[in-house]
Structure formats: structure tokens, C-alpha cells
Structure 1
Amino acid sequence: MSVLVIAEHDNASIKGATLNTVAAARQISMFADGQVHVLVAGSQSAAAAAAAAQIEGVVKVLHADGEALAHALAENVAAQVLAVAGRYSHILFPATAGGKNAAPRVAAKLDVAQVSDITKVVAVDTYERPIYAGNAIATVQGTDATQVITVRTTGFDAAPATGGAASVEAIAAVADSGKSRFVGSEIAKSDRPELTAAKIIVSGGRALGSAEKFNEVITPLADKLGAAIGASRAAVDAGYAPNDLQVGQTGKIVAPQLYIACGISGAIQHLAGMKDSKVIVAINKDPEAPIFSVADYGLEADLFQAVPDMVKAL
């Protein structure tokens, strides 16, 4: 049978997490000898459906367009997925806030066990996923006829956003469940790349000492590199940086091409969120800091001197 990917989108374009999830779905489809379909559920979302149809490896796009789906409320998205679930052996969600909100509802309604946060496909029903903050990798096997899966997007290279020519099938949109309603949103606007999609991230830790020093030291380097800014949990808890910049097990999971950790000791929960980065640079004056164990390049130095020197050199 075919594999269904639940797309994340803004009704106009497809979000990057969907491309990583499609990549995982393509691996499963090769084992299952099936096809990859994508569900785009939204309101006035024809552009998003057209973008999904261009993703390489996607054979069909199911497009549900209705007012109840405008804001991706989990109850309504789950109902839309359940309306087509019978066609599919695997249903994949990105392991994002939205995916984690809707996937368990679908699994519960189907009375199946959800497989969460997979990072590798081993067989048609077997996957790898991190446990113990990424310190161990578990191999898990799904035994249900329909497998509901969330995909850790950093574990799979994104499928090409262009090159496909999938057909688009319009399907009936579900009615509003009435169980929740959209009140409003407050979105922080920034010229920087989104943290989870950035190719370069500069992160600061508790060693920076204050919010003023965090901005004074980290921002110029990020500006020079065109990078996103991240922070350790300790820095966020201390008020040096806002919550949405937190990288780690209880924050955002990232895997940029370059991750620069400034004054971050390397607690387990932080490493779980960034150790899949392609190149890791650590700047810390403590030679015993755990961050050096995962770093490709380590600089034992005072970050208040080293980082400004890097900015000058750039």
C-alpha cells in the first residue's frame, strides 16, 4: 500500500519539514513497493498543493480545502487524516509542534501504537529512534496494519522541492469539530533564517552572563555569517534569550551545516538537539567542557575575546 505524508504549510507554500518527511516516506515506499502521497489540508491552499505536487518522489497530492482547516487545528487535521487513512499502510507526520499535536489523535482513533521521532528506516515496519536524550538508539518494530509515525526531520536529508509532477486530487474537507477555535497568533518577525531550517547557527550559553552580553557578542557574529541565533536552556532560563531560540531536547532539534557553540558547556539535553549538525565549532575556556567531545573544531579561549576577533577577521 501507499505511504501518506501530512504536509505542513502556510496555505501558500510547503514548509521544509515536509520535505524531510517525504524523504523518509520514500524510503518506506521502496520497502513497501508503494507510492508516496501527500495530504495538503488548508484553506485557500491551492498554491501549497501545487508546491507539494512538485516535490520529487511524490505521486499524488490529496487537497482538502475548507475554512475549518485554515489554521491547522489539531482536531480538524486529525479528522481529515482519518477520512483518508483507510487507503494507506503508513501515515507520516513531521515531528514538529503541529505534527506532534495531530499524530497521537490519529493513532488513538485508529487504535494503533504511534512510532515517534524516527531517524532511520530499517525495513517496511522497522525504524530507529533516539532514546535517553540521544545517548542510545532503539530499533523499534511496528505491528499494526496502519502505522502512524512522526519523523525527526534532522534524520533525513530533504527531498528536492522541485522535479516532481504529481497529480492533485481534490477531496472533501471535513466540517469543524467544534472542539477548539483559533483566537489569534503573535508571531515574532525576524530577518534571520528560521532556527530549524537555518544552514548556520550561532548559539550562546550561560557563560555570556547577561542578555546584554548575549546580544553584544552573539549578534555581530550571526550577522556576519547570515546565521540564525540559538541558545542553551541555561541561557534561556536565565533570561538571556527568548524561549523560541532554545536548542535542545526540550527546545528545537537542529542540524545545520555549521553550528557554533559559544560558552555552552554541552549538557546532555543540549547535545541531543544539535549533535547531528554537519560541522560543530565549540568555543569555551574550560578544556573539560563536554561540548568538545562532539565538536569537529574546538577553541579553548575566552569567548569575549575570541568571538569579537572572529567578527573582525570576517
Structure 2
Amino acid sequence: MKTLVLVEHDNASVRDATLATVTAAAAIGDVDLLVAGSNARAAADEAAKVAGVGKVLLADDAAYEHQLAENVAPLVAGLMADYDAFVAPATTTGKNIAPRVAALLDVMQISDIMSVEGDKTFTRPIYAGNAIATVQSSDAKLVLTVRGTAFDKAEAEGGSASVEEVSGKGDSGLSEFVSQELAESERPELTSAGIIVSGGRALKDAATFEQYITPLADKLGAGIGASRAAVDAGYVPNDYQVGQTGKIVAPDVYFAIGISGAIQHLAGMKDSKTIIAINKDEDAPIFQVADIGLVGDLFKIVPELTEKL
């Protein structure tokens, strides 16, 4: 089978989510990449170095600068005559584009795949990850999104794919880019951080969250996350949220501080390699998935831990 992978990029470089998606696509068949952007030759050249890639298709047009789904989806649908599967990372961009591609191809999308069991057979989480479904497609073309934390990242270097320019219809006239507000931080991105320190509603308010979580994260060089309850209470911005309706992460070490462990939160972090939980309630569900659990007052434990690091 031939697969076409959507490259997640910023018109200059390839984002990590692409590498795990390439690994998933390689388990299905031969892999080609699609870079849709504006002045995105640098991103295409970087994508060509990814190990295991046959060729890179570069659609360079002002209409694709911000990867608006209404413009990119028709481009992908037009290219699918030469491919058996379209594979996208299960990111905001991928989740926006893939359903539109599926609709244009009149096929059923399979979302958030966690493993490839056969040419058209996959596993995916249901019920907030409490059950894993095995699904098989009977469609002629596949449209898939990939849970990046479930696959190893392909090597970013070592490939020597060719770059081939392609074109689509350009601007569909259905939407336009207005503006974006990006939170800038020196901390690693949550989805790629090796260590994450997350806080919950038990931290009381934004000032307390900053007082206890930030110094620990600084000492560890970690990303900062939060439960939905902490985000809804206004302690931290929405892009800190980890969970079913937030970001799916799988760092080497995940600190869950003052987080009870509702299934919606566990769905976003239970694949972490080592989970360290700090909570005064010894019956908190978080301890069921934790590798290391500290029962006690976080307002005493966290400063002591930070001081000793």
C-alpha cells in the first residue's frame, strides 16, 4: 500500500508529531510526505531527510500558508488517486484536515490509531482510553489520524527523499486566516517534553500554582501541565491542559501534583513511562496508575522536593 503523510510544520521546520506519524504509516506501506505551505521549501528539505520516506510532495502556495483545512483538504483529495491511505497526526491541524478529506473521498475516517494490526486493521482508544477497540476498514481508501504517543518517532536524519512540486486548487474561498495568538515559552512543548510537572485544582489559585509548580519545573527543565479543573478555574492557560479534551502526552517522567486522577485526565497521560503522584488523599484514583506515590500535603512535599533537587 502507498501512504501519504501530512507533515506538521511551520513553513520552516518539521514538528515532532510528524515523526511518529511516519512510523505508523510505514507499518501500513510505502511512505510519501506532503508539505502544504507557503515559502515552505526549508520544511520540505528537512522532511526529505526523515528516514524511510520515498518522496516529499511540496505544495507551495499562499493559500496553504496557515494550513487552513478548507484549502488543504481538496489538495489532499486530489492527490489520493495515487495513494491507498492518507495519514495525519492527531493534532489540532490533523484533526481539522482529515475529516474533510474523508468526506471528499466518501470514506469513514479511523481516528487516533494506536497500532497497526494489518493492512486495514487498527486499534484505537474508546471510552476515554478505558477500552481499546480493534477496527477494520472496508473502504477503498483509508483516512487515519495517529496518536503520536503510541508510536516511536522515525529518525529525523538519514533519509534522502526527492522533493517534487505539486499544485492544487489553492484558495477555496470558504475561510480566511485572520490572526493567531501564540503563547511563547522557553519551556519544552508539552507533547515533546521529556519531563512534565502537572498541577491540579488542589493548588487553590493561579498564584499558588506558580509558587509551587514553576520552581520544581525550573529545576527539572520540565514542561508544565494541568488538569482540566485547574484550567477551568483559571490557574493556567488552556494550552497547559492534559487529558481527553487537552493534550495527549507520554513523557519519560510525569508529576501529578494535587490531581485526583479522573479518567479524562488519565486518558491524556497514562502512557507516561514513570508517573509520580503527590496527593493527600490515599484513595485518589491517580495512585492506581502511579509508579511512585507520595501521600501527604503537597504544600510541604513539593518545596522540600524542589529544595533537594
Match of 2:204 in 1: 209
1:152 aligns with 2:154: no
Match of 1:22 in 2: 22
Match of 1:11 in 2: 11
Q: Is the 8 A contact 1:206 1:264 kept in 2?
A: yes
Match of 1:135 in 2: 130
Partner Cα distance (2:169, 2:45) in 1:
21
TM-aligned CA deviation for residue 305 of structure 1: 0.8
How many residues in Structure 1 have an aligned counterpart in Structure 2?
309
Match of 1:114 in 2: 109
TM-score normalised per structure 2: 0.99
Partner Cα distance (2:170, 2:231) in 1:
40
Q: Secondary structure at the match of 1:54?
A: coil
**Structure 1 counterpart of 2:267, which letter?**
A
Q: Secondary structure at the match of 2:286?
A: helix
TM-aligned CA deviation for residue 173 of structure 1: 4.0
1:257 aligns with 2:229: no
Partner Cα distance (1:58, 1:22) in 2:
8
TM-aligned CA deviation for residue 174 of structure 1: 2.9
Alignment of 1:1-314 (within 5 A): 1-29=1-29, 35-314=30-309
Q: Secondary structure at the match of 2:84?
A: strand
**Structure 2 counterpart of 1:26, which letter?**
A
Q: Secondary structure at the match of 1:64?
A: strand
Partner Cα distance (2:85, 2:69) in 1:
19
Partner Cα distance (1:208, 1:66) in 2:
47
Q: Is the 8 A contact 2:35 2:58 kept in 1?
A: yes
Q: Which moved more, 1:42-51 or 1:232-241?
A: 232-241
TM-aligned CA deviation for residue 232 of structure 1: 0.4
Q: Return structure 1 stretches of 4+ with deviation > 6 angstroms.
A: none
- For structure 1, the 5+ residue unaligned runs are 30-34
Partner Cα distance (1:236, 1:221) in 2:
19
Partner Cα distance (1:210, 1:297) in 2:
26
TM-score normalised per structure 1: 0.97
Q: CA RMSD in A?
A: 0.8
Q: Secondary structure at the match of 1:229?
A: strand
